[in-house]
Structure 1
Amino acid sequence: MRAWQQKGRTTSTRPIHSFETGDIEYSPHWHDEIEVVYVMQGRQRVGLNQDSYTLGEGDLFLIHSGQVHHYAPLPEGSRVFIIQYGLTLYDELAEKVRVRIVAQPHIPKPRQGEDGKLYMRLLKPVLELYQESLQQDQECPLAVKASIYELMKIVYRDVPHQVYSGYEQTRHRTKLERLQHVFDYVEAHYANELKLNQLAAVSNMSVYHFSRFFKEATGMTVGRYITSYRVTEADRLLQLTDVPVTEIAYRCGFRSIPTFNRVFKQLRGCSPSAVRKINLS
Structure 2
Amino acid sequence: MKPIRKHFDAQPSFPFAFTFKDRKTLQRELPDHLHDWFELVYVYSGEGTFFIDRTIYDMNKGDLFIIPGNTIHRAFPDKEDPVTSTALFFHPMLLDRISLGESFSYMACFEQSRMSHRFKMECSSALQQSIERALVEVESELRTAQAGYRHAIVLHVEQLLLAVNREIGGERKRKAGSAFIGPSWMKDSLLYIDQHFTEAISLSKLSQMASVSSAHFSRVFKQSTGMNVTAFITAKRIVKAKELLLEEDDPIAAIAEACGFESMPYFHRVFKQIVGMTPSAYRHRS
Q: Which TM-score applies when normalising by structure 2? A: 0.49
Q: Which TM-score applies when normalising by structure 1? A: 0.50
